[in-house]
Structure 1
Amino acid sequence: MNIHPVEAGNFKLDGGAMFGVVPKSLWQRTNPADSNNMIDMAARCLLVEDGDRLILMDTGMGNKQSEKFFGYYYMDHKYDLDSSLKKLGFSRDDITDVFLTHLHFDHCGGVIQKSGKGDYYEPAFAKARIHSNSSHWDWAVNPNAREKASFLKENIQPIKESGQLNFVDEGTADLPFELLYVDGHTEKQMIPHLKIDGKTFVYMADLLPTAGHVPLPYVMGYDTRPLLTLDEKKKFLDTAATEGYYLILEHDPNNEIITVKHTEKGVRHDRTFTFKELLD
């Protein structure tokens, strides 16, 4: 198995929303804000090569939204899926599977594109199975008022209509990696664990957006069940520190992969690596 980062375009989000009840005087030490209180965010997708399968984890925001929509997030189109895949020697048609950790627009927007026929939407990966899970799917298509703005119909409904949707519920996943299902951020977010050359790599999605979120109270204001996130983070980070997991950060523009360690103050960020350092 080989893995590669696929950059889908950096953006910005409100720092206060990203760190919830933690004061700015603390979180800005690791995630400095601009004059509008916005912090830099990456959309680092992951490409997994395993035998004859080419699996793309998450897809970023995509490019089908309006200029006004992207303006809210200061979207930087320096990177996109097509150019990032091309650098690796692949194209969209090579992708056999798209795995979506969850269906918030910044994780799944790139799986659907506008057709050349106008406002018609279609899958951007015509030959791929698109993986979600049934509990999260139901949560997304019947959204609560708090998350409704994150679950966009144009990202979700065309997946169902395409016939490419496949549910990977607990104990049923036909995928070359293990899954941790967590519910603090949103219902049944999936966190993949990949075994490579004796190391465990974990694609963190929104369980740990950036290295600045390692301390337990540093929980996003976006999380629907923040106290549950606290418990899920503690259990996971304790294991990650003990077992020496390598944590792939989807949203951290400066830290691609980190490890964590036990300290007197709890689990903390230990070392930072690039994909090149660990896997080339």
Structure 2
Amino acid sequence: MQLYPIESGNFKLDGGAMFGVVPKSLWQRTNPADANNMIDIAARCLLIEDGNRLILIDTGMGDKQNDKFFGYYYLWGTDSIDNSLKQLGFHRDDITDVFMTHLHFDHCGGSVQWNKDRTAYEPAFKNAHFWSNKEHWQWATQPNNREKASFLTENILPMQESGQLKFTGIAEDRLLKNSELGFDIFFADGHTDKQMIPLIKYKDKTIAFMADLLPTVGHLPLPFVMGYDTRPLLTLDEKELFLNKAADENFYLFLEHDAHNQIITVKHTEKGVRLDKTYTTQDIFTN
């Protein structure tokens, strides 16, 4: 097995929204804001090469919305999925599976693209299965008013209409062992219903793709919960459970949204679970 980071493009989000009720005087220590109160956000995806399978976890925003839409998110940098794949000697047609942690636009938007004539949408990975789960799919296709703006029909339904959509199993005890894609999945409901956190066995390590359970290093303290979360008190419980397990078992936490920290480990302290060490993906994936 080989693992590769795939940088799909960077953007900015309001710092207050990213940290909920936490005062700016606290969160700006780890996530400094610009004059518009916006903080740097990455969309760092993960590619797994395992035998004949090439599995891409999350796909970023994509590029099919209009300039007005992207104007809200202050895109920056030159990264893209195509460029990242090309640097590794791959093409999007090589991808066999696209695993979506959840269906918010910044995690699955790159899964669907315009067709050549810009008359309809089509899967952006023509040879891939697209993986979600039945409960989250229903949540996303029949959205509540709180999340409706994050679940965009054009990002979601073409995967089903193409016949390429598949569902993982669901674990009642939160942890699905050895899923159909070969890795364990931790289910978390605080951010959105049935978000999936992959736990990948890589050599002697466990790599946890943190998605929106832990967006950045700055979100390590339990009360530092995003304003976007639908059930913040549940997020508190899920973070505590997961971070304690991560500290106990020395997980390597792959941070999808932290523009400046790629992988971290955590440790127990008197103040709770806190940062232990930071790593680049090159430190972990090439050793």
TM-score (norm: length of structure 1): 0.99
1:182-201 to 2 correspondences below 5 Å: 182-201=188-207
Q: Find the aligned partners of 2:190 and 2:82 in 1 and give their Cα distance.
A: 32
Rounded to whole Å, the distance in 2 between the matches of 1:201 and 1:124 is 26
Superposed displacement of residue 153, structure 1: 0.5
Find out whether 1:22 has 2:28 as its counterpart.
no
What SS class does the counterpart of residue 163 from structure 1 fall into? coil
**Across the two proteins, how many residue pairs are aligned to each other?**
280
Q: Matched residue of 2:45: which SS?
A: strand
**Residue in 2 that maps onto 1:226:** 232
CA separation in 1, counterparts of 2:162 and 2:273? 43
**Structure 1 residue 76 displacement after superposition:** 2.2
How big is the shift at 1:119? 3.0
User: Percent of aligned pairs with the same residue?
Assistant: 66
State how far apart, in whole Å, the 2-side matches of 1:4 and 1:257 are: 12
Residue aligned with 1:93, SS: helix
Does residue 72 of the first structure (1) align with residue 85 of the second (2)? Answer: no
Which consecutive segments of 4 or more residues in structure 1 shift more than 4 A? none
Q: What is the distance in 1 between the residues matched to 2:3 and 2:24?
A: 35
| Aligned equivalents of 1:61, 1:250: Cα separation in 2 | 13
CA distance in 2 between counterparts of 1:196 and 1:57 reads 15
Q: What's the counterpart of residue 127 of structure 2?
A: 127
Indicate conservation of the 8 Å contact 1:211/1:255, yes or no.
Answer: yes
Which of 222, 228, 231 is matched with 1:216 structurally? 222
CA deviations over 1:218-267 (Å, ceiling 9, x no partner) = 00000000000000000000010111100000000110000001000000
The 2-side partners of 1:261 and 1:183 are apart by: 24
Whole-angstrom CA distance in 2 between matches of 1:88 and 1:71: 30
Q: Residue 217 of structure 2 aligns to which amino acid in structure 1? A: A
Q: State the shift of 1:77 in Å.
A: 5.2
Q: Deviations over 1:198-231 (max 9, x none)?
A: 1110000000000110000000000000000000
Say whether residues 1:162 and 2:162 are aligned partners: yes
Paired letter, 2:234: L
Letter of the structure 1 residue corresponding to residue 39 of structure 2: I
Contact 1:50 1:176 survives alignment (8 Å):
no
Q: For residues 117 and 20 of structure 1, what CA distance do their matches in structure 2 show? A: 42
Q: Which moved more, 1:138-147 or 1:74-83?
A: 74-83
Write the distance in 2 (CA, Å) between the matches of 1:162 and 1:139: 20
| Counterpart residue number, 1:144 | 144
For normalisation by structure 2, the TM-score amounts to 0.96
1:279 aligns with 2:277: no
Distance 2:281 2:14 in 1: 28
Structure 2 residue ranges without an equivalent (≥5): none
Distance (whole Å) between structure 2 residues aligned to residue 235 and residue 129 of structure 1: 31
> Which structure 1 segments of 5+ residues have no match?
none
